[in-house]
């Protein structure tokens, strides 16, 4: 569930960017905000479970550096500060996505723009 918060914008990027010929302009217009909404609802749930009950979550993805004495893992840590930032960034991003669907609604390159916007949010989650 915690990794869904991070990878939901990537999934909506791939759907709206790579399959815009099949889902059409209307699908490419509404799929990224729906993906961001799911990410927002998941981040609100993560805020409830992690920040309010003060139980941080560590997800180890893979070993990064392995030596004889220790192993350093690549992973995700969801603590109180991370969950607060997730809620703030995701709610602002959801508002930006909803505004962009009406502001650039008649642009012929709308699927590409919405795909780039969701891709930016995905990398914003990964590298903060």
Cβ–Cβ under 8 Å, residues 9 and 118? yes
Number of domains in the chain: 1
Locate 114 and state its tokens: 């919405």
Q: Which domain holds residue 18?
A: 2-126
Summarised one tens digit per residue, pLDDT across range 19-33 is 877 888 888 888 999
Which residues is 77 bridged to in the sheet?
58
Q: What pTM did the predictor assign?
A: 0.85
Query: Mean pLDDT per 10-residue run, the chain (128 residues)?
Result: 90 86 82 92 95 92 92 92 94 93 83 89 84
């Amino acid at each position: 569930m915690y990794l869904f918060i991070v990878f939901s914008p990537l999934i909506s990027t791939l759907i709206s960017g790579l399959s815009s010929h099949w889902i059409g302009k209307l699908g490419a217009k509404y799929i990224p905000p729906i993906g961001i909404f799911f990410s927002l609802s998941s981040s609100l749930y993560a805020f409830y479970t992690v920040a309010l009950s003060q139980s941080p979550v560590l997800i180890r993805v893979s070993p990064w550096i392995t030596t004889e004495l220790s192993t350093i893992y690549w992973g995700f840590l969801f603590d109180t500060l991370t969950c607060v930032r997730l809620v703030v960034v995701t709610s602002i991003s959801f508002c930006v996505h909803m505004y962009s669907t009406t502001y650039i609604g008649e642009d012929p390159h709308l699927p590409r723009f919405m795909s780039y916007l969701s891709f930016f949010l995905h990398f914003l989650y990964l590298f903060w």
